């Protein structure tokens, strides 16, 4: 029987996307023949699809669905492991299934949607050889809800307003995708974030040695600047920086009441591995 080398394991892993130990076992069973190992692995693809669920899925797309009367909209994020898979027609068809199901259920939680589409997901995992994860579903309701998805399909936003102006809501949603405000208005800024910012400002070098009254004045100015930069309604509109978002809405007889922004993969930690060291360690064991 041929010795199973790290190079052989790497080649099989590159061609199948499977874990190193799975590749080593398959090669051992196939007597070191990579093509036979691949054939055997394909025969057991149902089992492998389940095992692939542990791999990090940090690519993917966002998709939106908006009610005809603009009274609500749903946005979903579905992840894949690679950007290549995220452009696959089968993957995009699955995203449509997820988005349609979430929209029909007015889902603000992905769990029940993902549970209902387990069979479809597993079939797709087997077909494209990557982990696929329906990750998030968010619902926004209001008098007028607008949506925008960036051309890359990696970032999307929903915006709720108090008056019906679909194009304006869409424009403001586009602004949200581009500028990424933290909150709708300064009153919405979490106390913990504000306290953290105050701590950072106090630690800045130009604060040292100044009288308390001067420090307080500088603090107020910098906190106001921080709040203005991070509050949607106080930000200059990206299509016309001379007008703030709040004033833009007011001119249309409306107010912006809420927004949600999703960016593919945000918050997911992608594990960085030293492949050569990992292979050596696994083979040694």
Does residue 264 contact residue 155 with C-beta atoms inside 8 Å?
yes
Per-residue pLDDT for 277 more than 60? no
**Distance separating alpha carbons of residues 165 and 256, to the nearest angstrom:** 11
**C-alpha angle 67/69/74, rounded to 5°?**
25
Write the pLDDT tens digit of every residue in 199-249: 888 888 888 888 889 888 998 999 999 999 999 999 999 999 999 999 999
**Distance separating alpha carbons of residues 236 and 227, to the nearest angstrom:** 13
- Phi first, then psi: give them for residue 260, nearest 5 degrees: -135, 135
- Phi first, then psi: give them for residue 6, nearest 5 degrees: -65, -35
Domain boundaries, given as residue ranges, for the chain = 6-54+274-284, 59-182+239-263, 191-228
Nearest to 96 by CA among 65, 139, 130: 65
**Distance separating alpha carbons of residues 116 and 102, to the nearest angstrom:** 11
Residue whose pair of structure tokens reads 């492949």 in the numeric block: 275
Query: What's the residue count for the chain?
Result: 285
CATH of 6-54+274-284, one of 3.40.50.11540, 3.40.50.300, 1.10.8.10, 3.30.365.10: 1.10.8.10
Q: Which 3 state secondary structure label does DSSP give 180?
A: coil
Question: What is 59-182+239-263's CATH topology?
Answer: Tetrahydropterin Synthase; Chain A (3.30.479)
Would you tell me how many other CB atoms lie within 10 Å of the CB of residue 111? 10
Nearest to 202 by CA among 225, 183, 220: 220
Write the pLDDT tens digit of every residue in 241-269: 999 999 999 999 999 999 999 999 998 86
Write the pLDDT tens digit of every residue in 96-105: 999 999 999 9
pTM of model > 0.85: no
Per-residue pLDDT for 47 more than 50? no
- Which residues of the chain form beta strands (DSSP E)? 59-66, 72-80, 133-141, 144-149, 155-161, 236-237, 240-244, 256-263
Q: How confident is the model at residue 284 (pLDDT cuts 50, 70, 90)?
A: low
Cβ-proximal residues to 58 (8 Å cutoff; 6+ apart), any chain: 79, 81, 264, 265, 268, 270
Residue whose pair of structure tokens reads 């010795």 in the numeric block: 3
DSSP assignments along 34-45, one per residue: HHHHHHHHHHTH
Residue 179: HSE in the Cβ half-sphere, 13 Å Cα cutoff: 26
The predicted pLDDT at position 55 comes to 62
**C-alpha angle 280/130/41, rounded to 5°?**
65
**Distance separating alpha carbons of residues 92 and 85, to the nearest angstrom:** 9
The predicted pLDDT at position 44 comes to 63
Give Cα separations from 168 to 19, 249, 255 (angstroms): 49, 8, 11
Mean pLDDT of all residues in 130-146: 96
**Distance separating alpha carbons of residues 133 and 137, to the nearest angstrom:** 12
State what percent of residues in the chain have pLDDT above 70. Answer: 88
**Distance separating alpha carbons of residues 258 and 263, to the nearest angstrom:** 17
């Amino acid at each position: 029987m041929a010795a199973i080398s790290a190079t052989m394991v790497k080649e099989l892993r590159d061609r199948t996307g499977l874990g190193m130990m799975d590749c080593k076992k398959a090669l051992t069973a196939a007597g070191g023949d990579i093509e036979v190992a691949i054939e055997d692995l394909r025969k057991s693809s149902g089992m492998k699809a389940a095992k692939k669920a542990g791999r990090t899925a940090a690519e993917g797309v966002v998709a939106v669905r908006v009610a005809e009367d603009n009274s609500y909209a749903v946005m979903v994020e579905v992840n894949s492991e690679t950007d290549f898979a995220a452009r696959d027609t089968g993957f995009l068809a699955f995203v449509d299934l997820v988005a349609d199901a979430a929209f029909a259920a007015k889902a603000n939680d992905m769990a029940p949607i993902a549970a209902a589409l387990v069979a479809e997901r597993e079939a797709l995992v087997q077909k494209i050889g990557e982990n696929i994860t329906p990750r998030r579903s968010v619902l926004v309701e209001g008098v007028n809800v607008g949506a925008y998805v960036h051309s890359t399909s990696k970032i999307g936003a929903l915006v709720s307003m108090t008056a019906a102006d679909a194009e304006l809501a869409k424009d403001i949603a586009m602004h949200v995708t581009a500028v990424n405000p933290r909150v709708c208005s300064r009153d919405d800024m979490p106390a913990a974030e504000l306290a953290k910012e105050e701590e950072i400002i106090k630690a800045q070098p130009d604060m040292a040695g100044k009288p308390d009254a001067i420090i307080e004045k500088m603090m107020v100015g910098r906190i106001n600047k921080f709040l203005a930069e991070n509050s949607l309604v106080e930000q200059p509109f990206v299509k016309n920086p001379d007008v703030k978002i709040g004033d833009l809405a007011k001119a249309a007889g409306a107010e912006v009441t809420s927004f949600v922004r999703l960016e593919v993969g945000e918050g997911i930690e992608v594990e960085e591995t030293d492949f050569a060291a990992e292979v050596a360690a696994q083979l040694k064991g």
